[in-house]
């Protein structure tokens, strides 16, 4: 047991958001992506709703996602606020990733509040992030405002909502050290 907790602690403390700009061109194999998704499936879920729904974009699918996000940005941004640099960066960011996974949740308002479904999705994504770290795959959860307009493109079902994208790719640079304040500043103990 001591060895397991040491390994788990090391992976948790080592995990970082690795951004697409830091990814190299090495492709993340489908088997690795499937392993992340399988581990996501073991997240806690209230009333066993298992709300997480994922759409995996690779290859040409990834290009279609980038084009759709860029189109939405262009169509919804007033001309005076439109930035060509931002427009270009949308597709560049997606191109830099080996894989992009849309992070969706199937909501069950008749069973549980939305925040509980979102919490379950977040736990699933944390399982993915820890698995990615253990496999030396860079990962990053992004939630741009444009996701609210992707329902039709993602073929979302009724009561399904997109909460962001999980970017993945291999990287070579050493991640920056983590910055956390002491846990003692965030905990109150009540013992009597």
pLDDT tens per residue, range 80-125: 999 999 999 999 999 999 999 999 999 999 999 999 999 999 999 9
pLDDT score recorded for residue 178: 86
Question: Sheet harboring 99-106: ordered strands across?
Answer: 52-57, 99-106, 160-169, 138-142
Counted residue by residue, the chain has a size of 192
**Three-state secondary structure string covering 38-60:** HHHCCCCCHHHCCCEEEEEECHH
Residue 140 to residue 125: CA distance in whole angstroms: 10
140-189 pLDDT per residue, tens: 999 999 999 999 999 999 999 999 999 999 999 888 888 899 999 999 99
C-alpha closest to that of 40 among 26, 29, 51: 51
Residue 34 to residue 6: CA distance in whole angstroms: 25
pLDDT score recorded for residue 53: 98
pLDDT score recorded for residue 2: 79
Q: Residue 64: which region, alpha, beta or left (left: phi > 0; alpha: psi -120 to 50)?
A: alpha
pLDDT score recorded for residue 19: 97
Q: What is the mean pLDDT of the chain?
A: 96
pLDDT score recorded for residue 76: 96
Element (H, E) at 154: none
Q: What percent of the chain has pLDDT over 70?
A: 100
pLDDT higher than threshold 80 for residue 51: yes
């Amino acid at each position: 047991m001591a060895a397991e907790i040491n390994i788990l602690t090391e992976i948790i403390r080592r995990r970082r958001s690795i951004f697409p700009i830091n990814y190299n061109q090495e492709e993340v194999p489908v088997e690795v992506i499937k392993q992340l998704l399988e581990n996501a499936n073991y997240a806690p879920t209230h009333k066993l709703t298992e709300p997480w729904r994922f759409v995996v974009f690779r290859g040409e699918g990834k290009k279609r996602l980038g084009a759709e996000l860029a189109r939405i940005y262009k169509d919804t941004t007033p001309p005076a606020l439109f930035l060509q640099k931002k427009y270009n960066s949308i597709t560049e960011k997606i191109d830099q990733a080996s894989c992009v996974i849309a992070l969706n949740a199937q909501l069950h308002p008749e069973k549980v509040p939305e925040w509980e479904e979102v919490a379950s999705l977040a736990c699933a994504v944390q399982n993915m992030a820890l698995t990615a770290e253990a496999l030396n795959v860079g990962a990053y959860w992004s939630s741009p405002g444009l996701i609210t307009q992707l329902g039709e493109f993602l073929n979302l079902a009724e009561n399904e909502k997109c909460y962001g994208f999980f970017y993945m790719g291999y990287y070579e640079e050493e991640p920056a050290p983590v910055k956390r304040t002491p846990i003692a500043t965030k905990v109150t103990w009540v013992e009597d």
